[in-house]
């Protein structure tokens, strides 16, 4: 031991206990046993931060010394969930820390439970970014996550009288023990004003921005701890402050208004995460947020590079920017601006550097999610960036015309600026050296339908990277019983190399192992049942089939199909009480975007159906329906572990990938789903006989869509079960106080008057097939041996769906990074 700050030393439980008690004293002026639970969490969290800080410094020393190439993962969202428990399981000294916590008389679960979720994301896209950071650190790749430090993350959902209510989540109220504010990296971001041209002494013209408003961007760093490898990467999230704090000097100068405005802009810019998932909202503040964090991140990355290197033209040798959907596409314009206006490169030189540095991931084909900004707004807010994009567009359109002479349609469909709008995806594709989809089917649809013109023109850019999830959080941390069982059977290699989990396959037929597995599932179901009892006051039977759909509420995800089927089952049980029926618990968890009316009405429907069914003693508990309030990463960990059936029932072609499907699979739930997104690859890995697949294919859906849909009325008229369920939407069966309550849902399916397409998401078209698939689920569950075997085979074949595999593919095909070792 030299005592140097970066000297990573072995930690003993005694040392850790000392750290915790020192924290209790210094922060709270108390002894440990005087602390309340939240203070205990903080005292422990600060002690853990103290443990990782040396490795954090050591990691960046190594990066610096080796002069590594770094990926900047740019994302408006990082859905991190809780940090503490995850950090502890990833640290090599996890046993010492756990021992110390125990010896202090503290309960690690209670302590972990005090931490608020860092919900800086909406759903799939944000959680994917979080899984990627975990994998990058564990695999030892140099990486920064770059994002926004929203004061209010995703809203907290309360259910009142069956309706969703959004409550702001003040996650930073008590501070964040794990973050480090880095004032020394603060930078300036400019909005508005106008561009001015001037000619230098060599007769070259240049551009600058004048009359702008400035914001100070302040980075906060969060540690991303790799699994047992001493690597600690960084998630850098930016907060906004006024550049010169509000002062009376300005007032004296008569610029009182401008000073207040600057202060207000800073306050609002990082105030809140937009709670839209797969939906574009063209709000000015959203575009400000995008430019704010992109400008700060790109400036910092370029500065860091130039601190060590002379030649800005070789930036791509050390820096690559991955754009998580189109939200960070301003990277293209901002990098061009810096290269030309600050480093004085010519257009062609700047373009060459930029196009070697940026890559784009597409997460959706839903047209309402595509980002388009009105020229007026864009050019007013970001005059210099707009000017640059105009020039990119001009040149891009020329290259289209050169390649397809006389084909006006091509330019109209592909232009970056068209119809008064800036199309961010077109900019990202024109400038990016890589364009990837997030599951094989999704990438094929991009190539052959949505982005066909671009694929034809630039096929070499397109590639697939099927999503993945981190097994460290979603098995090792979320399901300790199953994790331990797996390790007992095949060793612990799976933690850092999930392909090893295939070795479980030999146990799938072993009766003893099947019983052990089913017993673990039962215990996890009991854990969820207790959570439900505590939060919903509902008794559910852990011996019933746990059939779970948790994800954002969206029409294309078809929670409506699920609840209509529950209504159908209830009718069946009421009409045929004598019939054998295996008890079922349907679990829902879903947040709706605050302005998404029909989604919110669907939540009310689910809760109304739950109320009727759960309170009907005559069905003897055969059916239960539970809506989990405030679905988020922390309770998701409990839910996945307890699921028997994984509902993945999106309209085929609409779900780009899905990642919940993978979390269920890894925890031994069987997929009930359509051939959509990554479900296709899940079934390919596990075998059709171990999943329940139903419904239209993506080709069939696309075909119907191109021919104006289908006629749901025909089904309504011919299928009496469907008809009965639909009538219950409008006859007050689930809304005696207001029979009209669910009329809009009824109309969305049958569309009597409105101009909209009827049953746009093919719910009635797939209803029969879904009923049959659900019957097959019940039959399969009755055969415990068969079910246990299938469940074990699901776990055993989940290897492909580790985000470690995904990241290795990004590294090899796109980022070209080198692995780094940090020695103790």
Handedness of CA 733, 737, 743, 745 (dihedral sign): negative
Residues 6+ apart with CB under 8 A from 737: none
115 vs 450 by CB, closer to ligand 26Q: 450
Q: Is 363 a catalytic residue?
A: yes
Q: Is 502 a catalytic residue?
A: no
Q: Exposed, middle or buried: residue 249 (CB in 10 Å: 0-12, 13-18, 19+)?
A: exposed
120 vs 266 by CB, closer to ligand 26Q: 120
Binder of ligand 26Q out of 270, 276, 297, 559 (CB under 6 A): 276
Q: Report the residue closest to ligand 26Q, judged by CB.
A: 124
Pick the stretch among 278-286, 395-403, 409-417, 602-610 that binds ligand 26Q (CB under 6 A).
Answer: 278-286
Pure H helices in 67-140: 84-90, 94-103, 108-113, 124-139
Closest CA relative to residue 813, chosen from 77, 477, 318, 320: 320
Q: Exposed, middle or buried: residue 36 (CB in 10 Å: 0-12, 13-18, 19+)?
A: exposed
Count of residues engaged in binding ligand 26Q, rule: CB under 6 A: 25
Q: Which of residues 303-342 bind ligand 26Q (CB under 6 A)?
A: 327
Q: Give the CA-trace dihedral at 751, 754, 755, 757, to 10 degrees.
A: -20
- What does the per-residue mask of binding to ligand 26Q show for 458-487, with x meaning CB under 6 A? ---------x--------------------
Binder of ligand 26Q out of 281, 519, 717, 754 (CB under 6 A): 281
Closest contact distance (angstroms) between CB of 655 and ligand 26Q is 5
Q: Is 521 a catalytic residue?
A: no
Pick the stretch among 138-146, 269-277, 374-382, 446-454 that binds ligand 26Q (CB under 6 A).
Answer: 269-277
281 vs 703 by CB, closer to ligand 26Q: 281
Closest contact distance (angstroms) between CB of 268 and ligand 26Q is 16
Give the C-alpha separation, 146 to 187, whole Å. 14
Closest contact distance (angstroms) between CB of 461 and ligand 26Q is 18
Give the C-alpha separation, 416 to 424, whole Å. 7
Q: Is 557 a catalytic residue?
A: yes
Residues 6+ apart with CB under 8 A from 441: 653, 675, 676, 677, 680, 698
228 vs 464 by CB, closer to ligand 26Q: 464
Binder of ligand 26Q out of 438, 478, 639, 649 (CB under 6 A): 438
Which of 663, 741, 789, 800 is catalytic? The answer is 663
Give the C-alpha separation, 536 to 545, whole Å. 19
Q: Where are the beta strands (DSSP E) in 177-265?
A: 180-181, 187-191, 194-199, 205-210, 213-225, 232-242
Residues 65/314, Cβ–Cβ less than 8 Å:
no
Binder of ligand 26Q out of 75, 614, 635, 657 (CB under 6 A): 657
- What does the per-residue mask of binding to ligand 26Q show for 594-633, with x meaning CB under 6 A? ----------------------------------------
Give the C-alpha separation, 745 to 163, whole Å. 15
Pick the stretch among 262-270, 271-279, 408-416, 686-694 that binds ligand 26Q (CB under 6 A).
Answer: 271-279
119 vs 259 by CB, closer to ligand 26Q: 119
Which of 337, 552, 604, 654 is catalytic? The answer is 552
Give the C-alpha separation, 427 to 804, whole Å. 29
Give the C-alpha separation, 696 to 769, whole Å. 9
Closest contact distance (angstroms) between CB of 307 and ligand 26Q is 34
Closest CA relative to residue 41, chosen from 113, 123, 122, 133: 113
Q: Is 500 a catalytic residue?
A: no
Give the C-alpha separation, 616 to 790, whole Å. 33
Q: Is 621 left (phi over 0), alpha (psi -120 to 50) or beta?
A: left
Binder of ligand 26Q out of 30, 286, 313, 380 (CB under 6 A): 286
Closest contact distance (angstroms) between CB of 251 and ligand 26Q is 36
Residues 117/633, Cβ–Cβ less than 8 Å:
yes
How many helices and strands (H and E) does the chain possess?
32, 25
362 vs 790 by CB, closer to ligand 26Q: 362
DSSP string, 642-690: H-SEEEE-PPTTT-S--SHHHHHHHTTPEEEE-S-TTHHHHHHHH-GGG
Pure H helices in 507-558: 511-536
Closest CA relative to residue 674, chosen from 639, 699, 698: 698
Q: Does 297 bind ligand 26Q (CB under 6 A)?
A: no
195 vs 434 by CB, closer to ligand 26Q: 434
Closest contact distance (angstroms) between CB of 668 and ligand 26Q is 21
Binder of ligand 26Q out of 451, 656, 773, 798 (CB under 6 A): 656
Which of 300, 585, 659, 674 is catalytic? The answer is 659
Closest contact distance (angstroms) between CB of 423 and ligand 26Q is 13
Closest contact distance (angstroms) between CB of 125 and ligand 26Q is 3
Binder of ligand 26Q out of 16, 73, 227, 274 (CB under 6 A): 274
Pick the stretch among 391-399, 482-490, 585-593, 656-664 that binds ligand 26Q (CB under 6 A).
Answer: 656-664
242 vs 658 by CB, closer to ligand 26Q: 658
Q: Is 551 a catalytic residue?
A: yes
Give the C-alpha separation, 437 to 460, whole Å. 14
Q: Which of residues 358-397 bind ligand 26Q (CB under 6 A)?
A: 363-364, 369, 371
Burial 199-230 (b: 16+ CB within 10 A, else e): eeeeeeeeeebeebbbbbbbbbbbbbbbbbbb
Which of 557, 565, 600, 654 is catalytic? The answer is 557
290 vs 295 by CB, closer to ligand 26Q: 290
Q: Does 655 bind ligand 26Q (CB under 6 A)?
A: yes
Which of 363, 384, 461, 622 is catalytic? The answer is 363
Handedness of CA 633, 635, 640, 646 (dihedral sign): negative
Binder of ligand 26Q out of 658, 668, 673, 799 (CB under 6 A): 658
Q: Which of residues 494-553 bind ligand 26Q (CB under 6 A)?
A: none
82 vs 327 by CB, closer to ligand 26Q: 327
Q: Which of residues 93-152 bind ligand 26Q (CB under 6 A)?
A: 122-125, 128
Q: Which residues bind ligand 26Q (CB under 6 A)?
A: 122-125, 128, 274, 276-278, 280-281, 286, 327, 363-364, 369, 371, 438, 467, 655-659, 677
User: Which residues are annotated as catalytic?
Assistant: 363, 551-552, 557, 659, 663
């Amino acid at each position: 031991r030299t005592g140097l700050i970066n000297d990573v030393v072995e930690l003993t439980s005694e040392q850790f206990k000392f750290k915790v008690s020192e924290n209790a004293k210094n922060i709270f002026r108390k002894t440990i046993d005087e602390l309340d639970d939240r203070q205990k969490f903080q005292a422990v969290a600060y002690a853990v931060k103290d443990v990782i800080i040396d490795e954090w410094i050591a990691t960046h020393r190594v990066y610096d010394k080796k002069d590594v190439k770094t990926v900047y993962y740019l994302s408006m969202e990082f859905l991190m969930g809780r940090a503490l428990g995850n950090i502890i399981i990833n640290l090599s000294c996890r046993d010492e820390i756990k021992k110390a916590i125990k010896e202090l008389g503290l309960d690690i679960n209670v302590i972990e439970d005090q931490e608020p979720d860092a919900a800086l994301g909406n759903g799939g896209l944000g959680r994917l970014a979080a899984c990627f950071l975990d994998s990058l650190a564990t695999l030892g790749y140099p990486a920064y996550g770059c994002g926004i430090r929203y004061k209010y993350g995703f809203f907290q959902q309360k259910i009142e009288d069956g309706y969703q209510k959004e409550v702001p989540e003040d996650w930073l109220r008590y501070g964040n023990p794990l973050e480090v504010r880095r004032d020394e990296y603060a930078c300036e971001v400019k909005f508005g004003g106008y561009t001015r041209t001037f000619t230098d002494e060599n007769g070259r013209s240049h551009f600058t921005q004048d009359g702008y408003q400035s914001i100070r961007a302040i980075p906060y760093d969060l540690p991303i701890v790799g699994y047992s490898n001493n690597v600690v990467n960084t998630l850098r999230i930016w907060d906004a402050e006024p550049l010169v704090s509000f002062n009376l000097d300005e007032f004296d100068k008569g610029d009182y208004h401008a000073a207040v405005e600057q202060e207000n802009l800073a306050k609002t810019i990082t105030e809140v995460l937009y709670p839209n998932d797969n939906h574009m909202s063209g709000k000015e503040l959203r575009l400000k947020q995008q430019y704010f964090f992109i400008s700060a991140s790109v400036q910092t990355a370029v500065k860091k590079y130039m601190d060590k290197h002379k030649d800005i033209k070789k930036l791509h040798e050390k820096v690559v920017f991955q754009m998580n959907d189109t939200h960070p596409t301003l990277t293209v314009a901002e990098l061009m601006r810096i290269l030309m206006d600050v480093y004085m490169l010519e257009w062609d030189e700047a373009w060459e550097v930029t196009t070697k540095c940026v890559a784009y991931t597409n997460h959706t084909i839903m047209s309402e999610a595509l980002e388009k900004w009105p020229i007026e707004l864009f050019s007013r807010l970001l005059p210099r960036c707009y000017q640059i994009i105009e020039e990119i567009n001009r040149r891009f359109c020329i290259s289209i015309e050169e390649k397809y002479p006389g084909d006006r349609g091509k330019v109209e469909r592909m232009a970056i600026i068209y119809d008064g709008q800036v199309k961010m995806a077109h900019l990202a594709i024109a400038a990016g050296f890589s364009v990837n989809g997030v599951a094989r089917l999704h990438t094929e649809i991009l190539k052959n339908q949505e982005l066909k013109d671009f694929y034809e023109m630039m096929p070499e850019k397109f590639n697939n990277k099927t999503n993945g999830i981190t097994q460290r959080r979603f098995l090792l941390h979320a399901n300790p019983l199953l994790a331990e069982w797996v390790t007992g059977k095949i060793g612990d290699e799976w933690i850092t190399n999930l392909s090893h989990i295939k070795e479980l396959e030999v146990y799938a037929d072993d009766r003893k192992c099947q019983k052990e597995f089913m017993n673990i599932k039962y215990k996890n179901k009991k854990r969820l049942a207790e959570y439900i009892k505590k939060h919903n006051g509902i008794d559910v039977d852990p011996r019933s089939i746990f059939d779970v759909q948790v994800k954002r509420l969206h029409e294309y995800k078809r929670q409506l199909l699920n609840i209509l089927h529950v209504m159908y089952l209830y009718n069946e049980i009421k009409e045929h009480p004598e019939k054998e029926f295996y008890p079922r618990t349907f679990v829902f968890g879903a947040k709706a975007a605050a302005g998404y009316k029909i989604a919110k009405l669907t939540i009310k429907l689910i809760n109304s159906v739950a109320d009727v069914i759960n309170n009907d003693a005559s069905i003897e508990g055969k059916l239960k329906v539970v809506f989990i309030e405030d679905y988020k990463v922390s309770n998701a960990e409990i839910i996945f572990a307890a699921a028997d059936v994984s509902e993945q029932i999106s309209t085929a072609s609409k779900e780009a990938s899905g990642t919940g499907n993978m979390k269920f699979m890894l925890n031994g739930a069987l997929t009930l789903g359509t051939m959509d997104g990554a479900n296709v690859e899940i079934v390919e890995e596990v075998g059709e006989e171990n999943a329940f697949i139903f419904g239209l294919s993506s080709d069939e859906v696309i075909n119907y869509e191109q021919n104006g849909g289908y006629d749901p009325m025909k089904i309504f008229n011919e299928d009496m079960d469907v008809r009965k369920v639909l009538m219950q939407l409008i006859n007050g069966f689930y809304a005696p106080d207001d029979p009209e309550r669910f009329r809009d849902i009824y109309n969305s399916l049958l569309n009597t008057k409105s101009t909209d397409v009827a049953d746009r998401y093919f719910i009635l078209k797939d209803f029969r097939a879904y009923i049959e698939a659900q019957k097959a689920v019940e039959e399969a569950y009755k055969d415990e041996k068969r079910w246990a075997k299938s469940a074990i085979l699901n776990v055993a074949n989940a290897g492909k769906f580790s985000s470690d595999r995904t990241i290795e593919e990004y590294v090899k095909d796109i980022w070209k990074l080198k692995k780094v070792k940090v020695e103790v």
